[in-house]
Amino acid sequence: MAWGLWNPELSITNIGWNRMRNFIIVLSGMLLFSAGSFGAVNRYMVFFKDKENNTYSIENPEEFLSARALARRNNQNIYMTTNDLPVAPSYLIQLSALPEVNVVFSTKWLNGALVEADANNLGEIELLPFVKTIEFVAPGKALTGSGNRRQKNAEHMMLSATSEAESQSQNAFIGVDVMHTSGYRGEGMLIAVFDSGFDEIDNSSFFNHIFSGNKILGTRDFIRNSGWVFQYDQHGSKVLSCISAYKADVYSGTAPEANLVLCVTEDIGSEYRVEEYNWLFAAEYADSLGVDIINSSVGYFEFDDERMDYSYDKIDGNTAIITQAADLASSKGILVVASNGNEGNNAWKYLNPPADADSILAIGSVTYDKIKSGFSSYGPSADNRIKPDLCALGTNVKVVYREQIGSANGTSFSSPLTAGLAAGFWQAFPQLTNLEVIQYLKMSATQAYRPDTLQGYGIPNFTLAFNKAKLNEGDIEEKLVVFPNPVTHKKIIYLHADTQSQPGNATVRFTDLKGAEVSVKNIPELDNSDFLEIDVSFLTAGTYILTYNKGSEVQKFKLVVL
């Protein structure tokens, strides 16, 4: 079964569907092209001067955005603007009426359309009174997506299969183990994954739950203009496994209960500017469905046509089309999580767009030793902003393809691990905006107060982000926080003190319920920026009293160890 862009049950919205369907019927013969219909053509973006004579209005957004998309905007106090309006339908009709011009997709955010046209007929397009500019984006008609994937954005490779339980380690690396035991597995969140294909996930037992649970709410192949995405390439399958794959006691992605939108935007056989526009079209599609998070494990700075290449000075957060698209998605309340790139060992070495966008999370790669992976791209952006924003494990990541668990390297995998973390954290605090989620994750990271251009703000942690959100929102009034409680799994608790705490060192005393002392630990002075880990693995299962002493300040907590 294929889930298409215009499937009213699984796509945009049932609201206003009849109106949209009538327009599509008019264009159906124009939007679907036949090979050999006309001579040699190229692909161009045609941009329009305005959105006049539009049958849609921002006063009636339910005609072109789903209820979920509108709810996301309302929850974050985001107002509708003219770039939310679809392209004027009459413009698309007039373009399609020209000889040897085929309209493939349109963009409302940048107000234009991707067309296939004979270069000899561009003059006719330019004469249309509503046309502003035309940009060449790729030779030939829409490609088939055939061919071997080149190492464009990831050093991904399957190594020999290892212990299946090792996915627990990469989850624990960023606190996802605690997130899951706390009940946050992505339920109710909607994550879009943009990649090169999701081959065989419909035939893998690790993804059975997303099909049986109807968790895929939309699919779109922007390479061939279809709804079937379970083909082409393994890369997207492995990326998705970091978020969604699940088999009890064997493997778990970081947000296995999240709903999904799957989009093919990356063509594995070539590299042209059109792929940036594919990403833009996919982002608008995801927006219309009400997506919360976009994971993007693709990036671009070098193309088959060198005239399209970006020099480093253009990695400035504003120039690359895909970067503009990422920031526009963020402006609609979507959290964009993107791989920083794998150019660290190459001459380029810097981050790849869209990682340079200023309102997203760009994710670098580290090893289990918390050292930057050699291949992970460097920052900063050309305008000297900290990049990457965060890092997660990207070396020796456990991924799934078909029925095999293996290891892979690349920021392509540190990104979805982080996207799943963000989904669980946002599930815990649904009142937050996308930008607030970014800030909390940065504040939780290992280099929160000393970011650099190797690891950015460092490695995020669910527990610390959770505590900071609770403290900042006033849900916890004590001067000291102990979390998690009950404590499970690794048996580590975290202490956090606010600025009202008295100066000096402190002690933490553990006693049983009869008052017998079990242990006393001296701890350094804490301030409002510190979280202290205390290993309590010496405690057996049971209930204890934790007493915190600092000068005249005494606080007691009941600590349950499972």
Report the SS3 class of residue 484. Answer: coil
CA distances from 442 to 34, 126, 277, 387, 480 (A): 49, 47, 29, 12, 21
Report the first-to-last Cα separation within the chain, whole angstroms: 45
- CA–CA separation, 393 and 365 (whole Å): 6
Tokens of 254: 């970081």
Task: Give 3-22 pLDDT, tens digit per residue.
Answer: 222 232 223 233 333 333 33
Task: Give 517-527 pLDDT, tens digit per residue.
Answer: 998 888 776 55
**The Cα angle at residue 23 between residues 18 and 28, in degrees rounded to 5:** 115
**Between the CA atoms of 264, 270, 276 and 277, what dihedral angle is there, to the nearest 10 degrees?**
-70
Specify the DSSP class assigned to residue 150: P
Give the pLDDT band of residue 116 (cuts 50, 70, 90).
very high
Report the SS3 class of residue 212. Answer: helix
Give the pLDDT band of residue 493 (cuts 50, 70, 90).
low
The pLDDT, as a whole number, for residue 74 is 96
Token look-up 């000068």 returns 551
The pLDDT, as a whole number, for residue 186 is 98
The pLDDT, as a whole number, for residue 176 is 96
Segment 272-276 shows an average pLDDT of: 97
The pLDDT, as a whole number, for residue 489 is 52
Among the ranges given (158-162, 274-278, 508-512), the one the predictor scored with the smallest mean pLDDT:
158-162
Q: Percent of the chain having pLDDT more than 90?
A: 67
- C-alpha torsion sign, points 45, 48, 54, 58: positive
Contact 447, 455 (CB under 8 A): yes
Q: Provide φ and ψ at 393, rounded to 5°.
A: -60, 130
The pLDDT, as a whole number, for residue 42 is 95
Task: Give 67-76 pLDDT, tens digit per residue.
Answer: 999 999 999 9
Task: Give 220-235 pLDDT, tens digit per residue.
Answer: 999 999 999 999 999 9
Q: Provide φ and ψ at 336, rounded to 5°.
A: -100, 125
DSSP β-bridge partners for residue 559: 544
CA distances from 256 to 1, 220, 253, 518, 541 (A): 22, 21, 5, 39, 29
Task: Give 349-390 pLDDT, tens digit per residue.
Answer: 999 999 999 999 999 999 999 999 999 999 999 999 999 999
Segment 241-260 shows an average pLDDT of: 96
Report the SS3 class of residue 166. Answer: helix
pTM exceeding the 0.75 threshold for the entire prediction: yes
Contact 353, 310 (CB under 8 A): yes
